[in-house]
Structure 1
Amino acid sequence: MSKKILISAENIKQIYGEQTVLDFERFYLYEGEKVGLVGMNGAGKTTLLRILAGQIEPSSGSVKLDCIPFYFEQFGSGNSYFDTDYTEAGKMGVSDQMWQEKVSGGEDTRIRLAELFSSQRAVAFLDEPTSNLDSAGVELLKKRLIEIESMVLISHDRSLLNEVCDRIVEVSFGELHFYNGNYDDYLEQKEQQRKTEYAEYESYQAEKQRLTNVYRQKKAKAKSIEKKPKNISASEAKAIALCGNRKPEDKARNMEKSAENVLKRIEHMEVKQKPKEEPVARPDFRLTNPPRNPIVIRGEHLTFGYDDKLIFDDADFMIRNGSKVALVGENGAGKTTLIELIDKGELVYVVPGAKIGYARQNMSQIDMEKTVLENVRDVSIQSESIARIILARLLLTERDIRKKAKELSGGERMKLSFAMLFVSDVNLLILDEPTNYLDIPSIEALEKLLVEYEGTLLFVSHDKTFVDHVATEKLLIKDGKIKKSE
């Protein structure tokens, strides 16, 4: 029995000014499907979601909805929460907050999600529902989303896409590419696609080289036929030709024609482009003069708080040289407080040779009036070629690096701040929610650089997949204590 089509979108074009954001033939959502939308920032994911949900009319094409959708926006609009069921709010852990005049970003997200679960709509459209949620909130959301039968989801949280989605749609240069399975399945299919493209490229290059060699041989043979043999007169050459069936000039002409046919085959071959490969060079870490101490950060009997709130109560911890440590814990546990104490050198011991690079959310280290490349040059101790490779590995193009920093998006500025750290003289990185503002390709690019990083890394992130890929150990902050976590 075929499944019911809830949404069909055909021959869709969405144009803003002179820019075509979307241009695709069709998209169908079947009953029971859970689709994840992925792609670079600015690729058109939110625009597509709004078109499918009936929030906006496309420039051309048709959309049919055989359902009543619920649309969850990434950023709330001061919702009064009237439609939120009290029981659902309780399940999301925010029943008491519903009546407060002011709520935090995470509480607002939970209340708006409770409104989604309160509704009886057939399809959920969700744009970054993990925004402002801590790890516990994300885990709770995963369990609740599994209960929803049909949805279209935009998320930079790969663990959410893995646990919830059964189909991935990639938005790239306005077109849609479809992959069955979850996010890991999508990556596997993309890698297989890349291998196939590389094999096709190598086969194309080998055949082109073979035909080129044949062409050259035939041209050379035609030229040799045209020449009369050495040490004989013209009349003798003519007599030899008359004894044969064909004149030399005829043989040469046919050989030339054969060569031209080979050349036409080369010209009509389907061109296969070489798949793009990531540059692999990385900074020379020795230039940072890293400390050799086995322990680079130590906290003993750490007690600290604000006003009447005690955040750390006689807490002990240490961070080994070269380790990559994720600070984990619920919102308000003290993760950001701890990294700020370490950065300032207050109440926590940091070895003298450690040079801290702190990627702040406000990105105050960037000079907005300078270009991307100028900002990097100002702090770099690496060669310019290495600096350019780091920028490229963070998916900043040649065009991007000539822009002034003030012209960059939030995600591009974040990548610039990381590039500045990687090429500077720091040897101890501190990152607070580094995946904020980044799309999934940029998160994965940052992951690779951090995994290769030879210094010590301390970071806070609610992105479970990012933590699992980068961290060599975790420190859990809970009830005023700092303990190793599995």
Structure 2
Amino acid sequence: MILLQVQHVARYFGADVLFENIYLEIQENARVALVGRNGAGKSTLLKMIAEIEQPDAGRIVKSKNITIGYLAQNTGLQSEKTIWDEMLVVFEPVIQIEKNMRAIEVQLGDPGLLADKEAYQKTLERYDQLQHDFRAANGFGYEAEIRSVLHGFRFYEEDYQKKIHQLSGGQKTRLALAKLLLEKRDLLILDEPTNHLDIETLDWLENYLQMYRGALLIVSHDRYFLDKVVNEVYEISRQKITHYKGNYSKYLDLKAAQLEREWKEFEKQQTEIAKLEDFVNRNLVRASTTKRAQSRRKQLEKMERIDRPQGDEKSAHFRFQSGKESGNMVLTLADGAIGYERQILSAPIDLEVRKYDSIALVGPNGIGKSTLLKSLIGQLPLIQGSEQLGVNVDLGYYDQEQANLNSNKTVLSELWDSHPTTPEKDIRSILGSFLFTGEDVEKAVTSLSGGEKARLALAKLSMHRDNFLILDEPTNHLDIDSKEVLENALIDFDGTLLFVSHDRYFINRLATSVVELSAEGSTLYLGDYDYYLEKKAQQEELRQLAEAEELEQKGIPSKPTNSTGKNKREIDKDAQKLVRQLKRRVDTLETDMSAIEQNIETFELQLTEPEVFGDHVKVQEINQELTALHSQLDGILAEWEEKSIELEELSD
């Protein structure tokens, strides 16, 4: 059944067209993503469907009695109620049924009513109907449902009586989404629902939406989220819309295949046109072939020309380069503690950042990830611990709030004032690579969108040529294309990275290791995000096994866990498999270390040879090789130590 159709809808700004002739269809239980560049009109179209704005042309047709829930970007729940009381508002009809039931229960005990059999029977029938309605509306389970959803958004029993107006903006946004989910609308329209959600909450929301009974229309720049939740994609590009079946990854494949077909059809027609034009040019003036040439010319005139495929829209293109090389040890933090006014959020924190590392810092919202970054750059004091910056380290910092941008300046002056000796044409060229062209560079910083401010902050950072970048949520406000450009620029960066991000795809592409922050301090995982998830799952299984064994020793039967569905024997097998994997990895690392040490010894011997130590160019080349080998050896040694400890713990 079709819930909604967008038919030939358009939005104009004077003579400018944002989009036109838009067609979109949402079926019952559909899972639809709306994608496109920042500024393509995605949020505008969502507002039209939610009847917040009206289209300039076309119409939106909805099925009768459809209920629609809409969550705008960064919309927080505004209320004077407590969290619990506000969630109860959703179930007011159920609560009223329960009140009516209690009132009738009192009536049924009235002796006067008992004496009137007919009135008693009618009251009893009404009570039976109310009981039926109460059960159908989940009257016995709505409080558990509220608790489940609040828990998913990281609100717990101790939070329920907090006043909503006293909460942070991110908490209010999460509550707005929680209330919307509890309302169970036929169609949920979600504009960037993953904003302000940590990774654990994102996982919960993905699973919840997969089971949601209504239809979903989602705008999101989170690629993992789209891959798990949606099975249709509508792309707005160059004022038009195109429909693709499948999740986000499938959409990318289909789009690439479509572009390839369009190029083949275009090139085939261009070849045909060239042949026809050549025939006409050669034969039109010859009497014997004039008629055939005229026929070919008519064929050319009647031909419906295929437009040249445009492919993707213009993308940003930028690089991060360091001005000089740092030492091997970039930053260390020993026994650190972070927080505010002597209230510790996380401790003890130990960090070792080495040259060329790319470390992702993860953990729940409120645990202090941004606080740690600000402590490392000196904006906030550490409560305890010793921090040391390495030799020749130039530190660059990206603030998710873009606090280092001056609202009173223009885009051009924001960069030029920081680098007054750089020629204006070079500043404009750099801004152009971040998609600020023409009159865009004269815009006031205060008038920029979130995505534009993010690109300007990145442009400013790229000009500093730092060799150690500390980035706090660098993908916030960026569309998917800009995220991919940033990823590629950071992958090619010849320096060191420490970053906080909730974008799991971004983490997986960049991270060489993951540091998880919790109230108990920091935990290091030497691998990408997928490796981190695998290790966390293994640790959880082993923890459950240990709990089960402890209960058995006390004579208490352990309950089977629903989260893994594995029994003790299966977990034992997994533990044994992990031991074998770790042993193979340790053996491989030892072999690699031996080979590198031999290479180091060979180069060091070369430095003692007369024909080498007299050649300063050769000496410099060998020293560079030795530096790289020592850095490689340090990295392998660190992993070997971690794996060896894990192997020893599991073997015990």
| TM, length-normalised to structure 2 | 0.61
User: Are 1:478 and 2:521 an aligned pair?
Assistant: no
The higher relative CO (CA closer than 8 Å, separation ≥ 6) is in 1
1:100 alignment partner, one of 162, 166, 169: 162
User: Are 1:343 and 2:343 an aligned pair?
Assistant: no
User: Are 1:88 and 2:88 an aligned pair?
Assistant: no
Question: C-alpha root-mean-square deviation of aligned residues, in Å?
Answer: 3.4
1:315 alignment partner, one of 325, 349, 352: 349
1:326 alignment partner, one of 360, 364, 383: 360
Query: d(CA) in 2 for partners of 1:215 and 1:385?
Result: 48
Distance 1:201 1:397, change over 3 A: farther
Q: SS of the residue aligned with 1:114?
A: helix
Q: SS of the residue aligned with 2:89?
A: coil
- Note the C-alpha offset of 1:365: 3.6
Contact 2:411–2:445 (8 Å) recurs in 1? yes
Distance 1:397 1:473, change over 3 A: farther
Map 1:21-60 → 2, pairs under 5 A: 21-60=18-57
Q: SS of the residue aligned with 1:462?
A: coil
Query: d(CA) in 2 for partners of 1:371 and 1:413?
Result: 11
Q: SS of the residue aligned with 1:348?
A: strand
- Note the C-alpha offset of 1:476: 0.8
User: Match of 1:143?
Assistant: 207
Query: d(CA) in 2 for partners of 1:388 and 1:213?
Result: 45
- Note the C-alpha offset of 1:95: 5.0
- Note the C-alpha offset of 1:402: 5.0
- Where in structure 2 are there 5+ consecutive unaligned residues? 91-141, 526-531, 533-652
Structure (1 or 2) with the greater strand fraction:
1
Query: d(CA) in 2 for partners of 1:56 and 1:258?
Result: 58
| TM, length-normalised to structure 1 | 0.80
| % same residue | 30
Which residue identity does 1:69 align to in structure 2?
I
Q: SS of the residue aligned with 2:377?
A: helix
Map 1:28-427 → 2, pairs under 5 A: 28-60=25-57, 61-66=59-64, 67-74=66-73, 75-79=75-79, 80=81, 81=86, 82-84=88-90, 86-91=143-148, 92-93=150-151, 94=155, 96=157, 97-101=159-163, 102-149=166-213, 150-203=215-268, 251=286, 270=305, 272-273=307-308, 275=310, 283=319, 285=321, 288-291=323-326, 293-344=327-378, 347-368=386-407, 371-377=410-416, 391-392=431-432, 394-401=434-441, 403-427=443-467
- Where in structure 1 are there 5+ consecutive unaligned residues? 223-250
Query: d(CA) in 2 for partners of 1:416 and 1:404?
Result: 12
Contact 1:393–1:445 (8 Å) recurs in 2? no
- Note the C-alpha offset of 1:52: 2.2
User: Match of 1:246?
Assistant: none
Contact 1:88–1:115 (8 Å) recurs in 2? no
Contact 1:83–1:118 (8 Å) recurs in 2? no
Contact 1:87–1:95 (8 Å) recurs in 2? no
Contact 2:259–2:309 (8 Å) recurs in 1? no
Which residue identity does 1:76 align to in structure 2?
G
Query: d(CA) in 1 for partners of 2:436 and 2:295?
Result: 44
Which residue identity does 1:285 align to in structure 2?
Q
- Note the C-alpha offset of 1:368: 4.6
Structure (1 or 2) with the greater helix fraction:
2
- Note the C-alpha offset of 1:119: 1.8
